[in-house]
Amino acid sequence: MGDLLARYDILGAFLMTIKISLAAGLLALVLGTLLAVFRLSPVPVLRAFGSTYVNLVRNTPLTLLVTFAQFGLLSLLNWHLANQSSPTSVADDNFRWGVLALGGYTAAFVCEALRSGVNTIPVGQAEAARSIGLTFTQTLREVVLPQAFRASIAPLGSTFIAMIKNSTVLSVIGVAEIAFLQSRIIDENADQLYTIMAIVALGFVILTLPLGMGATALSKRLAVKR
Amino acid sequence: MNTGPEQSAVTSRAPLVVLDKVNKHFGDLHVLKDIDLTVGEGEVVVLIGPSGSGKSTLCRTINRLETFESGSITIDGKPLPEEGKELARLRSDVGMVFQSFNLFAHKTILENVTLGPIKVRGMKKAEAEQRAKELLDRVGVGHQAGKYPAQLSGGQQQRVAIARSLAMDPKVMLFDEPTSALDPEMINEVLDVMTRLAKTGMTMIVVTHEMGFARKAADRVVFMADGQLVEQATPEEFFTNPRSERAKDFLGKILTH
Ligand SMILES: Nc1ncnc2c1ncn2[C@@H]1O[C@H](COP(=O)(O)OP(=O)(O)OP(=O)(O)O)[C@@H](O)[C@H]1O
Ligand SMILES: [Mg+2]
């Protein structure tokens, strides 16, 4: 095992997994919140957009989205997200499209987690907010979303754990994260199959276990008492 | 509608809330039928009637938590605008106290009361807190300012809800069965606050079946049935000598238990 760790940059690959997760997670959180606001808004066009996005994206395999981003948008249409003159432009482009696909995919789940949180809030909360003169946006920002986030911490935790594990899908477009490295190591060291798999599994447990426990603890601590 | 001589008592006050031929449907159900109602400045009106007659809907329509199809509602001469910023501003002039209190569950008692003044009126935080503390003292829950709603009794929560509405300096306050979710021993503490409020000259529309409150604090009782205002009179007159069959029938039912 020490031999594997010395010959391959396993830590670096895990760092890439973390980088993908942070970037895609942030994107998913922002986009997912926006989608949830759309789905709750009184404007029919926004509502339709929100639900179409969620239903379309949530029901498409992530692998398809990721490969579509890379082959369909990047390679065929030449939509670059990275600076073409940079020496790492190919890797950067793959990374960014990968993050976009993973973040956009996870956003649909974030939206639904938030919406389930919103559904736990009695309608009277928003009515009271409106009746003291808060606008629609203020009502969301001050009253509905803060309570929805608290009620959604546990499902959001599960969503982000799933996202971290889903980041391995980016190996199909050659992003140098841990699953990508894993298949390379297995190719070159078939005898060490169990070792490498154990290392990867352990790595994911280290990444996701604290997240799950943190989410549970936080959701208990921040739970809104009624 | 039965317009009796008591209507003339109203006209001596400047009209503050005026409903003119307001109609509303929920699907096929005609919940508000040609409602005409004028509430004068400083007047306290108790709205009473059987379950499902449309009292809550009427209250909620006055600050446009519900839309209506025809007719008009004006507050202090200004018609209620369509949904949007303008409506939000006008709504802040109309206080509303709900049966289920609806305090913001994730905010402290103090924050519940300061939210509106800070966000809607643009008041400085320190000033809003100062004012909120005065109001909380006035309704007798000043020492609970740092707690969360769930830590308070129902009666205390409802008094905070009243303070929250008062913090907006509303022109009129609507109460929709403010005591019917309360344990009996807490009803009076809330009614006392409301009675004192009535004495300060606040314009109030109160849906309640508390006849003690109606007799003590109301200038007028309006009886509603099947989406119509059937009868209105002074509390004394209404409770001792109702004119319509519907009102007699209704009072007979609530007085027997
Ligand atoms: N959101 C709604 N959608 C459909 N119907 C509704 C809605 N709200 C109320 N109704 C119906 O409208 C009628 C009037 O309801 P409302 O709540 O105004 O009566 P109420 O006089 O306040 O009754 P209660 O004394 O039980 O509170 C009832 O028949 C009720 O079922
Ligand atoms: Mg009601």
Instruction: Give chain B positions within 8 Å (CB) of A142.
Output: 104, 115, 119
pLDDT at B168 over 90: yes
Q: Residue B143: its pLDDT value, please? A: 94
Looking at this predicted complex, what is its ipTM?
0.90
The string of DSSP codes covering B199-240 is: HTT-EEEEE---HHHHHHH-SEEEEEETTEEEEEE-HHHHHH
Query: Per CB distance under 8 Å, which residues of A are interface residues toward B?
Result: 42, 122, 124-125, 127-136, 138, 142-143, 146-147, 150, 224-226
pLDDT reported for residue B12: 74
Question: In the prediction, which pLDDT does B6 show?
Answer: 47
Question: What pLDDT was estimated at residue B13?
Answer: 85
Residue B148, classed as helix, strand or coil, is coil
pLDDT tens, residue by residue, B51-65: 999 999 999 999 899
Ligand 1 binding pocket includes B51 (Cβ within 6 Å): yes
CATH number of A19-175, picked from 3.40.50.10260, 1.10.3720.10, 3.40.50.620, 3.30.70.1400: 1.10.3720.10
B39-48 average pLDDT score: 96
Report field, pTM of the whole predicted structure over 0.90: no
Instruction: Confirm if A105 and A97 have CB atoms less than 8 A apart.
Output: no
Return d(Cα B68, Cα B73) in angstroms, integer: 10
Residue A21: which of A177, A156, A202 has the closest Cα? A177
- Looking at residue B2, its pLDDT comes to 47
Which of these ranges, A17-21, B87-91, B176-180, has the smallest mean pLDDT? B87-91
Q: Which of B22, B32, B55, B209 to mutate to test the pocket of ligand 1 (most atoms within 8 A of CB)?
A: B55
Lowest mean pLDDT among A70-84, A94-108, B10-24, B161-175: A70-84
| Protein residue closest via CA to atom 25 of ligand 1 | B51
Residue pairs between chains A and B whose CB atoms are closer than 8 Å: 79
pLDDT interval class at B3 (50, 70, 90): very low
CB contact under 8 A, B98 and A124: yes
- Which residue does chain A place closest to B153, by CA atoms? A226
Alpha helices in chain A (DSSP H): 2-7, 10-40, 44-58, 62-67, 89-119, 123-131, 136-138, 145-166, 178-188, 193-222
H or E element in which residue B249 lies: helix B245-255
Q: What would the pLDDT profile of B135-155 be if each residue is shown by its tens digit?
A: 999 999 999 999 999 999 999
Angle at B174 (CA atoms; ends B206, B27), nearest 5 degrees: 95
Cβ burial, residue B146 (10 Å; 0-12/13-18/19+):
exposed
Asked if A225 lies within 8 A of B105 by C-beta distance, the reply is yes
**Domain chopping of chain A, boundaries:** 19-175
Beta-strand pair B15-26/B70-75: antiparallel
Do the beta carbons of residue A129 and residue A138 sit within 8 Å? yes
Map residue B1 onto helix, strand or coil: coil
- Enter the tokens of residue A151: 């009620």
- Mutation for testing the B interface, residue in A41, A132, A137, A153 having most B CBs under 10 Å: A132
Residues of chain B found within 8 Å of residue A129, distances taken between Cβ atoms:
104
Please state which of the ranges A133-137, B5-9, B35-39, B85-89 shows the lowest mean pLDDT: B5-9
Give me the count of residues in chain B. Answer: 257
Pairing of strands B228-233, B78-79: unpaired
Q: Which atom of ligand 1 is nearest to the CA of B66?
A: 1
Give the pLDDT confidence score for residue B82 in this predicted structure. Answer: 77
**Which candidate from B88, B93, B168 shows the least CB-CB separation from A135?**
B88
What pLDDT does residue B257 have? 54
Cα separations in angstroms, B216 against A201, B191, B197:
74, 10, 12
Look over chain B and give the mean of its residue pLDDT values, rounded to a whole number. 92
Residue B3 CB burial class (10 angstroms; 0-12, 13-18, ≥19): exposed
- Contact between B232 and B199 (Cβ < 8 Å): no
Question: What is the Rg, in whole angstroms, of the alpha carbon atoms belonging to chain A?
Answer: 20
- pLDDT < 70 positions in chain A: 1
Condensed to tens digits (0 to 9), the pLDDT of residues B185-224 reads: 999 999 999 999 999 999 999 999 999 999 999 999 999 9
Q: Do the bridges between strand B44-48 and strand B29-40 make them parallel or antiparallel, or are there none, so unpaired?
A: unpaired
Distance B182 CA to ligand 2 centre (A): 15
